[in-house]
A and B are shown apart, each in its own frame.
Chain A
Amino acid sequence: MARMKFLCDVERCIDCNACVTSCNNEHDVPWGINRRHVVTMDDGVSGEKSISVACMHCTDAPCAAVCPVDCFYFTPDGIVLHDKDLCIGCGYCFYACPFGAPQFPEENSFAARGKMDKCTFCAGGPLPDNSVEEYKLYGRNRIAEGKLPLCAEMCATKALLGGDGDVVSDIYIQRVVKRGGRPDTWGWNTAYNFKSEKEKKP
């Protein structure tokens, strides 16, 4: 059984924000809301790294665990989706999500949030596939059309990979082997206090 996953190769991401733009355009996301965003570390400094982040469709999703009305569900291929008819806009998922994926497009008075909105892995919602209602509430359903998320499909440097986790990891492993080094995953050097050969022998 396939499990759909995103992976962003930080060595390839050039902070072009095309993934963000394509997502906003494909799903007609309201102005000022981004289902996907690009985070840049050490911006402007040599060796800066960028990573494209959205809902990572966690296997054990914390958003679903904290939702008081259980509006989240999982498709057979591991995509985390939610029902906006059940969502009460409490914002618990926003606090629980480590990736900042949940968004609240409607802002009302007294800080009342509207329904939560997030990346759907281009799989729409619980309404009939590619119906007008589904498009209005959740955006386009590319998965039902046999297509993968647009952000990953149109990434110019193929930094953002999206699809079956096994395929995605195979592609990434091949790249790492080709580069001939350890995977330069975000934070690896910091976490393991890694020093380059130059630093070891000045």
Chain B
Amino acid sequence: MKRILFMLTAFAFLAGLVGCSSESRNVTMHKPGVYKGTKDPLLALKNQQELIDRAKLVQTDR
């Protein structure tokens, strides 16, 4: 009985400590209009001129 009482007290103490932490309680991770997914490697695209040259080469009338 004493042991259960001790464990309950310890649990209540720990729960109290967690409640006192300075971490934000806001669980909403969504921000309107902000993409929060994985970053696309294409965002650092460097072959734009290559694509423009290809468009001129492939799509113009022969």
Contact = CB atoms under 8 A, between A and B. Distances in A.
Interface string A1-17: 11010000000000000
B41 A129 contact: yes
Interface residues of A, number: 41
Interface of A: 1-2, 4, 69-73, 75-77, 79, 81, 83, 85-86, 123-129, 141, 143-144, 146-148, 152-153, 158, 161-164, 167-168, 171, 174-175
A123 B52 contact: no
A72 B33 CA distance: 9
Nearest to B38: A126
Contacts of B54: 146-148, 163
Interface string B19-46: 0000000000011111111111111010
A129 B42 contact: yes
Contacts of B48: 1-2, 76-77, 164
A146 B50 CA distance: 6
B51 A126 contact: no
Contacts of A123: 42
Nearest to A125: B40
A126 B39 contact: yes
A70 B36 contact: yes
Nearest to A86: B37
A123 B45 CA distance: 11
18 contacts: A1-B48, A70-B33, A70-B35, A73-B40, A75-B42, A77-B45, A81-B40, A81-B42, A125-B40, A128-B41, A129-B41, A143-B42, A143-B45, A146-B51, A147-B54, A152-B59, A153-B59, A164-B51
